[in-house]
Amino acid sequence: MAKADLPWERVHVFWGDERLVPPDDPGSNHAAAHDALLRHLDLPEGNVHRIKGELDEVAAVTDYAEQLRAFAQQHDPGCPSPWPRFDVALLGLGEDGHTASLFPDSPATCVVPVQAVEAEYDGRPAQRVTLTPIVFNHARRVAFVVSGQNKAAAVAAALGPEQDPDQYPAQRIAPEEGEVVWFLDSAAGSEIEEK
């Protein structure tokens, strides 16, 4: 199917996490996604549901939770949760095992769909807003896309037999009624033990 043949009016894009910076800031996930992908698609502007990083953390969390709730009510009125069931949640993995903005030693039990976090990763401190595992674990499919030798140890730990979701938050992502797939380049998968 060609890009032009896709029903873009039916595609909606949400963010798993965002730094509290304006949408055109170089550190913004929205800016990166827009430059790399969204600007090349025939996606209606109203179908992009971003976390408003230009707001303070309380306002950004409140706004995004409301966006999720409104979308779920409009598009899936029978949905029992205040967030939509995503068809695909696309996630990455940090060298420390974090995914979205769920970092090692962050609270493992979440009862809200969106929360504010403050984290330092790769020498860059940042205030962030993130979806929580209860949202990702409600998805039909979760796809981790990971590349690079620098992620190999984290991939091996996340996929290994020992469960330590406090240290490796990617292990918290395990949909009960969905599937998880991992897309790895050979470098990222180089430390996975053969079974």
Under DSSP, is residue 189 helix (H, G, I), strand (E, B) or coil?
Answer: coil
The string of pLDDT tens digits covering residues 51-109 is 999 999 999 999 999 999 999 999 888 778 899 999 999 999 999 999 999 999 887 66
Task: Evaluate the CA torsion angle 135, 138, 144, 150 in order and state its sign.
Answer: positive
Which pair of tokens denotes residue 168? 């490796």
Which pair of tokens denotes residue 70? 């409104």
Q: Which of 6-10, 43-47, 122-126, 139-143 has the lowest mean pLDDT?
A: 122-126
Cβ neighbours of residue 108 under 8 Å, at least 6 residues apart?
165, 166, 169, 172
Residues in a beta bridge with 131 = 114
pLDDT, position 22: 96
Which pair of tokens denotes residue 126? 């940042």
C-alpha–C-alpha distance, residues 23 and 78, integer Å: 33
